[in-house]
Amino acid sequence: MNHSLILDGKTPAAAGYSMPAEWQPHQCTWISWPHNRDSWPDKFEPVEPAMARFVGALSRSELVRINVLSAAHEKHVREQLEGHAHPARIAFHHFPTNDAWCRDHGAIFVTRDRPGHPLLAMDFQFNAWGGKYPPYDLDNAIAAKMADTLDIPHVSIPMVLEGGSIEVNGAGALLTTEQCLLHPNRNPSMTREAIESALCDNLGVSQILWLGEGIVGDDTDGHIDDLTRFVSEDTVVTVVEQDRSDENHLPLAENRERLETLKLADGRSLKVLEMQMPRPVEFQGNRLPASYANFYIGNRVVLMPTFNDPADEPNRQLLARCFAGREVIGIDCTDLVLGLGALHCLTQQVPVV
């Protein structure tokens, strides 16, 4: 749908649009079903059962839209979901993808509280995390297809941005990392100031809060959704590593220190709650980006990755205190994280308007 008349030459922010927080109501959650066996080398078989448990839990309270390769692939996925998800809360779309990470290749949605087109899809460019995993042409086409399916306008933005690299509180603040957004493999011609302006203009935020480095094993160059997440307008949970000999200890400690200095636009300091990192999760000698911060906030559930670790339950209880009106469910992601992502990476919410 043409957006030119909607924006009338204005930026989305100037036209009244802004990005809601993830805990605000969804009309649905969108995912791209895993199929690329190269992303889970030698261990794809456990991935689909984990996805079925995840989608089953999520579909209790909202519609789940699923991108699949074809009619045959849809039939296969339906069989995987049988006994887990109610068919009435699943919608399939024959939108082929290169991979499963819908948080990064899907549209990012902004809303406005005024008559006429309250929902707008932002179609940033996707280059597979700095060109690491070609081809990515199918993934880069998904955002526009999502908008067309919803019959809403979309804006194509000449800037590379993945949804997992940003985190908003729905009240003007956006968290991100220097490692990712300032990396030359994304937008080499854009300065820090230009990137900040683009985020404010397109996502309707008013301040950018910067953290530093991401966790070991994260091939996205430090996505925020493995580090620090808003759980309310002024509160974040952030992962920490107590073991000083662990290579994640120092970058996470530095991020923790930064959070102490950050303030919201109205002068309030952030309230910071700590989540302990799991013990190292490895496959064939390689450290995987296992993080409890990669949880997804559904309408009535919060789905948190677990890793068969002593820290699973304390972290689940922490999130349960943060989201008192939602059931916090652990989903074993020990095999899923071999693909170098987890639950939040696989999802993209579509807000209610």
Q: What Rg value do the Cα atoms of the chain yield, rounded?
A: 19
CA 76 to chain centre: 25
Tokens 């309270």 sit on residue: 61
Q: Is 333 a catalytic residue?
A: no
CA distances from 63 to 18, 59, 205 (A): 23, 6, 28
Q: How many residues does the chain have?
A: 353
The predicted structure's pLDDT at residue 303: 98
Residues 6+ apart with CB under 8 A from 337: 281, 288, 289, 290, 305, 307
Domain ranges of the chain: 4-351
In terms of Cα–Cα distance, which of 245, 223, 219 is closest to 338? 219
Residue 76: in which H helix or E strand, if any? helix 71-81
Residue 240: in which H helix or E strand, if any? strand 235-240
What is the DSSP-derived secondary structure letter of residue 235? E
The predicted structure's pLDDT at residue 105: 98
Q: What is the DSSP string of 27-48?
A: EEEEEE----GGGSTT--TTHH
4-351 fold: L-arginine/glycine Amidinotransferase; Chain A (3.75.10)
What is the DSSP-derived secondary structure letter of residue 247? T
Q: List, as own/partner pairs, every contact residues 266-269 make where C-beta atoms lie below 8 angstroms and the sequence separation is at least 24, other chains included.
A: 268/234
The predicted structure's pLDDT at residue 115: 79
CA dist., res. 29 & res. 347, Å (int):
7
The predicted structure's pLDDT at residue 7: 87
In terms of Cα–Cα distance, which of 258, 243, 254, 235 is closest to 319? 235
Residues of the chain with pLDDT under 70: 1-2, 4-5
Dihedral sign (CA 271, 122, 224, 313): positive
The predicted structure's pLDDT at residue 6: 78
The predicted structure's pLDDT at residue 5: 60
What is the DSSP-derived secondary structure letter of residue 270? P
CA dist., res. 134 & res. 132, Å (int):
6
Q: What is the dihedral of CA 68, 38, 99, 282, to 10 degrees?
A: 120
User: Does pTM top 0.85 for this prediction?
Assistant: yes
C-beta atoms surrounding 308 within 10 Å: 11
CA dist., res. 199 & res. 177, Å (int):
13
The predicted structure's pLDDT at residue 2: 59
Beta-strand relationship, 228-232 and 207-211: unpaired
> How many Cα atoms sit within 13 Å of 168 on the Cβ side?
21
Q: Is residue 107 within 8 Å of residue 121, measured between CB atoms?
A: yes
The predicted structure's pLDDT at residue 151: 96
Q: Is residue 100 within 8 Å of residue 36, measured between CB atoms?
A: yes
